[in-house]
């Protein structure tokens, strides 16, 4: 890897970390063992495929395919991970 490759990689990471507007939904894929911290401004989380563990305000919830969890009113961010041995796909709005 040369310095040009590193520069492009860092630039790509910076672009990927730019916050999305609160009104836009985005889709996340987590593999088993990965953890995602949902930004506090997001209003809901819907599992599209698989099962997720969601920790919100000290409570652990298992959210399955097609189910939705409201995040409004929470004082903390939600933490999401894949439940079981398969990836989870979810949308955050």
Q: In what order do the strands lie in the sheet with 59-64?
A: 35-38, 78-82, 51-56, 59-64
Instruction: Identify whether 38 is part of a domain.
Output: yes
- DSSP β-bridge partners for residue 30: 88
The per-residue pLDDT for 22 is 55
The per-residue pLDDT for 49 is 96
Residue-number span of the structural domain to which 29 is assigned: 21-92
The per-residue pLDDT for 7 is 40
Instruction: Identify whether 3 is part of a domain.
Output: no
Question: Which pair of structure tokens corresponds to residue 6?
Answer: 């590193």
- CATH number of the domain bearing residue 60: 2.60.120.10
Instruction: Identify whether 9 is part of a domain.
Output: no
pLDDT tens-place values along the chain, 93 residues long: 444 444 444 444 444 445 555 557 889 999 999 999 998 788 999 999 999 999 998 899 999 999 999 998 777 889 999 998 999 999 998
Question: Which pair of structure tokens corresponds to residue 78?
Answer: 């939600």
The answer to whether the predicted template modeling score (pTM) of the entire model surpasses 0.75 is: no
Instruction: Identify whether 6 is part of a domain.
Output: no
Domain count, the chain: 1
């Amino acid at each position: 890897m040369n310095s040009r490759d590193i520069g492009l990689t860092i630039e790509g990471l910076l672009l990927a970390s730019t916050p999305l507007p609160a009104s836009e939904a985005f889709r996340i894929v987590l593999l088993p063992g990965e953890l995602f911290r949902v930004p506090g401004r997001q209003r809901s989380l819907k599992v599209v495929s698989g099962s997720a563990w969601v920790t919100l305000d000290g409570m652990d919830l298992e959210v399955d395919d097609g189910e939705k969890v409201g995040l409004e009113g929470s004082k903390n961010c939600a933490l999401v991970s894949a439940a079981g041995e398969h990836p989870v796909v979810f949308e955050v709005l």
